[in-house]
Amino acid sequence: MRFLHIRPYLTSIIITILFVVSWIAFILIKSNIPTNYLEGSSQGYVLTVTTLLFSFLVGHYFNSRYERYIMIRDYHISRHSRCLALIDIVHSFSDNVRLTEKLFEKLSDIAIIDELCSWSEGYIEEPYYRNLYCLLDDIEIISDKDLTNYRILYDKINEINDFTRKLNSLGRDKFGFLRWLLLASLASVIILLTLSMPTSNFINLALLMLFPPIIFLVIYTINSYQNMTFHKESTSMEINEKLFDEIGKKRFYKKNRLRFVRVDIRKNRELYRTEDELTGRDKDIYLDYLDKDFYVNRSNKRQCN
């Protein structure tokens, strides 16, 4: 039982342990291996220049990846907020029974495919959001109020698809190999120079050997923002579950994301489904997701189904 409460923080615990272990390892390396490579003045000059370059790159890379994360989070929340708003708009039409059924069907498709996709798979999601335009074909204009609602609905669907295109573009925006090579090269030089610097006592040694694990932690953090390894759940999962709650369907969680679900929900199997329990249309979406070529072929087509 206690492990269930610890599990969401397992990654952080492992990273902390690795940080301490690497710190101790570098202290032992520095204490037992002679590593004086350069003459003192030139060593200090090289270390200063390299550290300044590394700091500049880290600041630039981190700011770029963090701003990207903030934009993705904002677009994602805005897109799903507008999806939820479609329910109230559709209910405002004079003849809304059939239209509501169609909307709930498409929102269910959207919530499932969004849970399945990673940030770099926006091209898979796009056809499902474009399917919302098919709702416009089923609207019967009976009154002036219906005409106003039609225009509002059309604008909302346009906004949803605009956010989807932006998310698709941002999801694919990643640093290339040369940028990582440059950062890794500077980090390697700093680590080698810190290992070769003379120290007068153990405290100085311990403080100096903090630099290598800190460098590793910085690079790991940048890479985490780059790949959005720990933010899909915080910006996506609960929003999608609200869609399922609104349309009256059981929640859907990928099995590899269950560790991020609240313990009280995860323990109650009546509240949610996983990939193995999908049926009918929902299962077809999952099987289509596994066939990536299927989406490449239909990515620019409007599918009303």
1: its two tokens: 């039982």
What angle in degrees, to the nearest 10, is found between the helix axes of 40-91 and 238-247?
10
* Domain extents in the chain: 7-22+51-305
Q: How far is CA 262 from CA 228, 233, 238, in A?
A: 20, 12, 10
Residue type, 284: D
One digit per residue, the tens of pLDDT, for the chain of length 305 reads 444 455 556 777 888 899 999 999 998 888 887 655 555 567 777 888 888 999 999 999 989 888 888 888 889 889 989 999 999 999 998 888 889 999 999 999 998 998 888 877 888 888 999 999 999 988 888 888 889 999 999 999 999 999 999 988 888 788 888 889 999 999 999 988 888 887 778 888 888 899 999 999 999 988 888 877 654 555 445 678 888 888 888 888 888 877 777 777 778 888 888 888 888 889 988 888 887 666 555 544 455 66
Residue 278: how many other CB atoms lie within 10 Å: 16
Instruction: State whether residue 273 is helix, strand or coil.
Output: strand
Distance of CA 40 to the CA centre of its chain: 45
Residue partners of 298: CB distance under 8 A and separation at least 6: 127
Instruction: State whether residue 251 is helix, strand or coil.
Output: strand
Q: How far is CA 208 from CA 27, 59, 104, 197, in A?
A: 9, 21, 59, 9
Q: How far apart are CA 132 and CA 58, in angstroms?
A: 41
pTM for the predicted model, two decimal places:
0.77
Q: How far apart are CA 84 and CA 103, in angstroms?
A: 10
Which residues in 143-165 are b (16+ Cβ under 10 Å) and which e?
Answer: eeebeebbeebeebbeebbebbe
